[in-house]
Amino acid sequence: MFQSFEVKIEPENAGPRIERLRTEMARVGLDGFLVPREDEHQGAYVPPSSQRLMWLTGFSGSAGVVLVLKDKAIIFIDGRYMLQVRQQTDLAVFSYENLSAIPPATWLEQHGTGLKIGFDACLHTISEVLSLRKALDRVGGYLVEVEKNLVDIIWNRHPNIPFGQVTLQPVELTGRTAQEKFAEIQKAITAEGASATILTDPSSVAWCFNIRGTDVANTPLPLSFAIISVRDRPQLFIDQHKLGKNEESYLQNLCNILEPVEFEENIRQLAQSGDVILLDPSLTAENLRLVVEKAGGKIREGIDPVQLPRAVKTQAELAGARKAHKRDGAALVRFFAWLADQRPGTQDEISTTQKLEELRSQTAETENSKLEDISFDTISGAGPHGAIIHYRVNTQTNRPLMNGELYLIDSGAQYRDGTTDVTRTVAIGDVGEEKKRCFTLVLKGMIAISIARFPVGTSGQDIDVLARIALWKNGFDYAHGTGHGVGSFLSVHEGPQILSRTGKQKLLPGMILSNEPGYYRESAFGIRIENLLVVQVPEIPDGGDLPMLGFETLTLCPVDRNLILPELLDREERDWLNSYHDTVYRKLAPMLNEAERDWLAWATAPLEVLFVP
C-alpha cells in the first residue's frame, strides 16, 4: 500500500510546542514568528523533514501558515480546509483566518503596529516577503530575518532528509530531449533580457532534465535545484547519493552535477560575473534574492520559464495520458462494480481505498504502465466526511459506508506514461431527492465546462463561472477552484493553468486541467464530480466565424445514474452524458470480464433507460 492510515498528527502537543517557540522568540527579541507549510522549494510537496507547520500545529493540509504571537496563534488556511483545520488542531490554542480573504500581510497591517515579526528567508517567496514588509512598514512594525529557523531549534526527533533514487523519463514518453528543452528555456531567458535563471521548483528541474525521483510522497520529484545559463552548461544541484550509474552517466553528458550545499556559492559567483539573473518572485525564496543582491548581481523578475512549456503537453505526453486514463478507467470500473455488490455497512472508508489501490496495481501491461504510486492520498469520505473537502481518512476517523448516504472518493494514480485524478460521488442505497437534486446541479456544472467552446485568449477565470451557474441559481457554491493543471508523471497540481476566479493564464492547446465542481453541506454530505480534460486545437464551429478552443475528456468512468434527476438536465446535457457514457463503454468493455461488462453496460446506459440492476 502506498497510503498509510495511521494517525500522524499530534494536536495535543501543539500547546507545549507553541510555548517553547515563544521562549525562542523572546530569546531573539521577537513579538511573533511565521511558520509556513512550504519548504525551500516553495512547492506543495514537502518531505516529512520539512513539515514544520504540521509538527507545530497538527494541521496536515497542503496550504497554510501560522503566525505565533506572544498571546495568540493564528492559522491562515483557504476554503478547502476550514473544517479540517478545526478537527486537527486545538481550538484552545489557535484561532483561524481565511488565507484568501485575509492573508498574513493584511492581518499584520490591521493588528501588527510596532511588532517585530520573525521569518525564515528560505521558506518565504520574494513576493510574499515584499508584501509582509510593506504591511508592517505602514504600521511601524518590522520584518526580521532569523539566522536559524526557530521551529528547527525546538524540533526534537527531527526526520531525516530524503535520499530517493532518481530515474530517467524516456524520450518516447516526454516527446522531447533535455537538450531541446534547454534550448527553449535559453530562448525564454534571452527574451526576458537575462542571461541565466535559477530553478527552485523540483517539477521544473525534473521536466527540464527528463528525470524523476522519490523524495516526496505521491509525486515523482527529485528535490533539487538548477541554474540554466544562456552561455554555460546547465548546473544541477542534487545529492549524488540519489544517482545510480546510468543516471549519473546520463546527467554528466547534460550538465555539471553539484551538491546542494554548493548552490548558494554558485549563485554568488554568477551574480559577481555580471549576469542578469531571471528570478520568479512567486516561486523563488527570499534568501536567494538576498544572495544575488549582496554579491552585487542584477535581478530580472519574471515567470519561471519552464512553467508554460511544461504545461503544454507534447503529442507523446498526450498519447501517454490517454493510455494511462484507459487503464485507470478499467480499474475504476472494476472498483465501482465491486462496490455495487457490497451491502451497506460492510465496507468502510479505509477498505474501499485499499481495494481501489489494489485494482490499480493490477493494470500493468508493460514496465511503463505499472502503478508507480498514487498521485495523492485518496479522499474517501462517507456521509458527513464527504463535506470535508480534503478529508484524509485514518484509523481513528474511519467510517462505514451506510445506507442512505453519499460516498465521495477522489483518487489518482501515477503511471510512468501519465498522471490521473478522478472524483466520483455514489449513492449507498436510496439517498432521497434532495441529495439527487444537489448532485444533478453539480453535474450540470461539470457538463457545462466539458462542452464549452471559447475563443483563443480565454483564461481560466473566464469560464470558471460556467461550472457554478446552476448552483448559484439555487443558492449554492463551493469554496475551491473548478480545476487545476495536471503534469505528465509529475505533480497532480500543476500551474500556471487553473479554472478559478483567479486563473489569469490563457488556456493553450495541450494543457491538461481538472474539471471538478462540487457542493458540500457541513456535517451532512459532500458531492464532487471530476474528470481530466485537455485543451484542444482551435477549430471554427460549423457556420461560425472564429476558431474556438474546446476540451477533450481524458477520464473514463461512469457518473452514478442513481443520483441523477433527468428532468433537471436539458437536451444538450443529456446528449453529452449519454455520448460520454457510450465512449466509456466502448473503450473499456474489451478490458473487462463478463460480469464487469454487464455492470458497465447498466452504468453507462442512456438516461432514458431507467431500470434497476
Reference 135, options 156, 171, 108, 164; nearest CA is 108
DSSP secondary structure letter of residue 159? P
Average pLDDT over residues 243-255: 97
CB 492 within 8 A of CB 481: no
CB count in 10 Å sphere of residue 142: 15
Q: Which 8-state DSSP code applies to residue 279?
A: E
Q: Which ranges constitute the DSSP H helices of 557-604?
A: 571-588, 594-603
The Cα–Cα gap between 453 and 455 comes to 7
- On the question of a cis peptide bond just before residue 517, with omega within 30 degrees of 0, the verdict is no
Q: What is the mean pLDDT of residues 284-307?
A: 97
Torsion of CA 84, 85, 88, 89, to 10 degrees: -160
pLDDT over threshold 80, residue 561: yes
Q: What is the pLDDT of residue 199?
A: 97
Phi, psi angle pair for 126, to nearest 5°: -55, -45
Identity of the residue numbered 574:
R
Tens of pLDDT along 113-170?
A: 999 999 999 999 999 999 999 999 999 999 999 999 999 999 998 999 999 999 999 9
Is residue 597 pLDDT above 50, yes or no?
yes
pLDDT for 159 equals: 93
Angle in degrees, CA 318, 320, 321, rounded to 5: 65
User: What DSSP state is assigned to residue 488?
Assistant: S
| DSSP-derived secondary structure letter, 177 | -
Average pLDDT over residues 187-209: 97
Q: What Å distances lie between residue 187 and 74, 225, 269, 391, CA to CA?
A: 44, 20, 22, 43
Q: In whole angstroms, give the CA distance from residue 369 to residue 604.
A: 26
Which pLDDT score, from 0 to 100, does residue 366 have?
Answer: 76
- Asked if pLDDT for residue 613 goes beyond 50, the answer is no
All three cell numbers of 472, joined, read: 448559484
Task: Annotate 331-350 with b (16+ C-beta within 10 A) or e (fewer).
Answer: bbbbbbbbbeeeeeeebbbb
Q: pLDDT band at 282, cuts 50/70/90?
A: very high
Contact yes or no for 475/605 (Cβ under 8 A): no
- Residue 9 — pLDDT band, cuts 50, 70, 90? confident
* Matching residue, cell 472508508: 349
Predicted confidence at residue 292, as pLDDT, reads 97
Instruction: Judge whether residue 96 has pLDDT over 60.
Output: yes
pLDDT of residue 610: 56
Question: Residue 412 corresponds to which cell in the numbers above?
Answer: 489518482
Q: Which residue in 539, 529, 532 sits closest to 454, CA to CA? A: 539
CB neighbour list of residue 380: distance below 8 Å, 6 or more residues apart: 349, 350, 352, 353, 391, 393, 407, 408, 409, 411
Q: Model confidence at 7, in pLDDT bands (50, 70, 90)?
A: confident
- Give how far the C-alpha of residue 563 lies from the chain's centroid of Cα atoms, to the nearest Å: 28
Whether the pLDDT of residue 612 is over 70: the answer is: no
Tally of residues, the chain: 613
Q: What is the spatial distance between Cα 69 and Cα 54, in angstroms, rounded to a whole number?
A: 18
Between residues 206 and 274, the one the model is more confident about: 206
| Phi (first) and psi of residue 530, to 5 degrees | -135, 130
Counting Cβ atoms within 10 Å, is residue 71 exposed (0-12), middle (13-18) or buried (19+)?
exposed
Specify the pLDDT at position 83: 85
Q: How far apart are CA 358 and CA 365, in angstroms?
A: 15
Mind listing the pLDDT tens digit for each residue in 486-540?
999 999 999 999 999 999 999 999 999 999 999 999 999 999 999 999 999 999 9
* Helix/strand/coil for 187: helix
Report whether 234 contacts 256 (CB < 8 A).
Answer: yes
Q: How far apart are CA 147 and CA 149, in angstroms?
A: 7
Residues above pLDDT 90, as percent of the chain = 93
What is the average pLDDT score of the chain? 96
